[in-house]
């Protein structure tokens, strides 16, 4: 193909690769482009997308090989090592993964200490700031992890700065909470201004998914956060937030009709929210059907709990039920409502979908069904969960958590499970109901 045709195909392939629902379709054209003799304007970008798309379709070894070659070719790249390390972890190459993570962390910390010799106190520019504020779960999890890691002395004490575009913030009430724990939030209106502010702060980026754990190993947040939380609890430390800011609960009470103190917050991840309708979409297996939660909702209301369902208007609405309020159909509610409801709830009930980290901030039990991937752990000692089921279609039997190994343990890409001949089966209504009963029993014992 000539250069003009090459660039047209390149633009088309990159657009597909940027959509989680279309990444599987981008693999072949990206491979063709990489093998072409045409001059590429950004070879690293093209190969990065190819490696990520290979991951999305479950071709982990091929993805790791590509990331590994790029990591060797671009040793100073800010994020390559992290992506390479994640693929090594998913493949079960844990020691190799830890070496890569440690190398990346040390490279960052060397820059921090070098700058600190000229400019004190230490400044941390928190990244990835755009993703962090775009998703509620990221905003809760990354900053909780960072704050506890620093207070446990696992990284040097410093002043954290979070520079964001105001219109990108998914929940302003949650973001503003972090200012009470020393996070300097700077808001602006364009990506260019974000970059300018970060440059003036004169500090390298700190990626909040990779820190040393109490055992000395550098881990990804998905695995390190529960370990750090366990150490936090062992030392007798409580949740970061013990009360809501003035006015937040009052705002929630004014907005919600018939607000009740004894309540449960329900959130069930839906493919309608993320447009993950394709069975090949990266997050397709993380979703659940709200109908399977109806018996549990009825049980909770029979026990005297008011159930508030949160989410967005794209979700399938629940039928009218006594003492159940489906707030998903009221998408314009103030951001304070969801935060205040979770902070004051008896427990959070639903699926692991980012929102389930918010209870950690306030010491509220998180009770999750359809837990996935299997290799991830709940955060707190009072949390409860039941996992999805793995069914080996060739052998005609369900798999046991104790015998399943990498890469199935740490993965959620449908392509991998299809290649392994494993079907992911969500929890039944009966299983979810039994979990609700356990949660109520634990709540009553606590009281």
pTM comes to 0.91
Domain count, the chain: 3
Same domain, 110 and 193: yes
Same domain, 256 and 176: no
CA torsion sign, 426 to 431 to 433 to 434? negative
> CB of 23 within 8 A of CB of 49?
no
Q: Which residues pair with 263 in a beta bridge?
A: 306
Same domain, 253 and 369: yes
Same domain, 134 and 267: no
Which pLDDT value is given to residue 398?
93
> CB of 17 within 8 A of CB of 30?
yes
Query: What is the span of the domain harbouring residue 315?
Result: 248-446
Same domain, 295 and 430: yes
Is 243 domain-assigned? Answer: no
Residue 297 is part of a domain; what is its CATH number?
3.40.50.2000
* CA dihedral of 23, 24, 26, 30, whole degrees rounded to 10: 110
Which pLDDT value is given to residue 276?
59
Query: Would you call the peptide bond into 373 cis, given omega within 30 degrees of 0 as the criterion?
Result: yes
Is 46 domain-assigned? Answer: yes
Same domain, 112 and 130: yes
Which pLDDT value is given to residue 238?
96
Tokens of 64: 């790791």
Tokens of 431: 């299983």
Which pLDDT value is given to residue 273?
64
Which pLDDT value is given to residue 280?
65
Domain endpoint, select from 38, 59, 92: 92
Same domain, 102 and 40: no
Domain endpoint, select from 92, 126, 144: 92
- 377-407 tens-digit pLDDT: 889 999 999 999 999 998 999 998 778 888 8
pLDDT along the chain (447 residues), means of 10: 90 90 89 91 94 90 96 89 91 92 89 76 91 94 96 94 96 93 95 95 88 93 94 97 91 86 95 64 82 98 97 91 91 88 97 93 97 88 95 91 82 84 95 98 88
105: left (phi over 0), alpha (psi -120 to 50) or beta: alpha
Same domain, 427 and 298: yes
- 57-81 tens-digit pLDDT: 889 999 999 999 999 999 888 889 9
Which pLDDT value is given to residue 277?
58
Is 311 domain-assigned? Answer: yes
**Run of H or E residues at 371:** strand 366-371
């Amino acid at each position: 193909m000539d250069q003009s045709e090459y660039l047209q195909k390149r633009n088309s392939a990159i657009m597909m690769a940027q959509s989680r629902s279309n990444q599987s379709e981008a693999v072949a054209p990206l491979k063709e482009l990489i093998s072409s003799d045409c001059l590429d304007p950004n070879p690293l970008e093209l190969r990065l997308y190819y490696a990520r798309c290979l991951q999305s379709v479950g071709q982990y070894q091929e993805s790791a090989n590509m990331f590994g070659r790029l990591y060797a070719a671009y040793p100073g790249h800010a994020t390559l090592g992290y992506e390479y390390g994640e693929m090594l972890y998913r493949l079960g190459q844990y020691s190799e993964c830890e070496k890569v993570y440690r190398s990346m962390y040390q490279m960052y910390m060397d820059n921090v200490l070098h700058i600190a010799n000229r400019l004190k106190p230490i400044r941390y520019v928190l990244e990835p700031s755009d993703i962090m504020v775009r998703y509620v779960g990221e905003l809760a999890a990354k900053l909780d992890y960072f704050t506890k890691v620093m207070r446990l002395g696992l990284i040097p004490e410093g002043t954290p700065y979070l520079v964001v575009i105001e219109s990108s913030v998914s929940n302003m009430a949650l973001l503003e909470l972090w200012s009470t724990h020393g996070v300097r939030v700077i808001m602006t209106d364009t990506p260019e201004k974000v970059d300018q502010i970060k440059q003036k702060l004169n500090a390298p980026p700190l990626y909040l998914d990779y820190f040393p754990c109490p055992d000395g190993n550098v881990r990804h947040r998905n695995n390190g956060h529960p370990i750090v939380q366990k150490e936090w609890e062992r030392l007798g430390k409580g949740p970061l937030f013990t009360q809501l800011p003035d006015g937040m609960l009052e705002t929630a009470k004014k907005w919600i009709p018939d607000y009740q103190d004894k309540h449960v917050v329900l959130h069930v991840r839906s493919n309608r929210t993320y447009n993950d309708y394709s069975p090949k979409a990266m997050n397709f297996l993380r979703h659940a059907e709200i109908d399977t939660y109806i018996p549990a909702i009825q049980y909770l209301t029979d026990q005297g709990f008011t159930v508030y369902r949160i989410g967005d208007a794209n979700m399938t609405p629940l039928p009218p039920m006594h003492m159940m309020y489906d707030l998903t159909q009221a998408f314009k509610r103030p951001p304070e409502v969801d935060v205040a409801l979770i902070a004051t709830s008896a427990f959070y009930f639903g699926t692991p979908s980012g929102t389930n980290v918010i209870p950690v901030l306030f010491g509220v039990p998180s009770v999750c069904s359809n837990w996935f991937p299997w290799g991830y752990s709940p955060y707190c000692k009072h949390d409860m969960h039941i996992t999805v089921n793995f069914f080996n279609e060739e052998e005609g039997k369900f798999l046991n958590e104790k015998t399943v190994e990498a890469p199935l343990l740490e993965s959620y890409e449908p392509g991998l499970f299809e290649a392994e001949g494993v079907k992911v089966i969500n929890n039944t209504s009966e299983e979810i109901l039994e979990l609700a009963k356990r949660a109520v029993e634990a709540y009553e014992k606590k009281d």
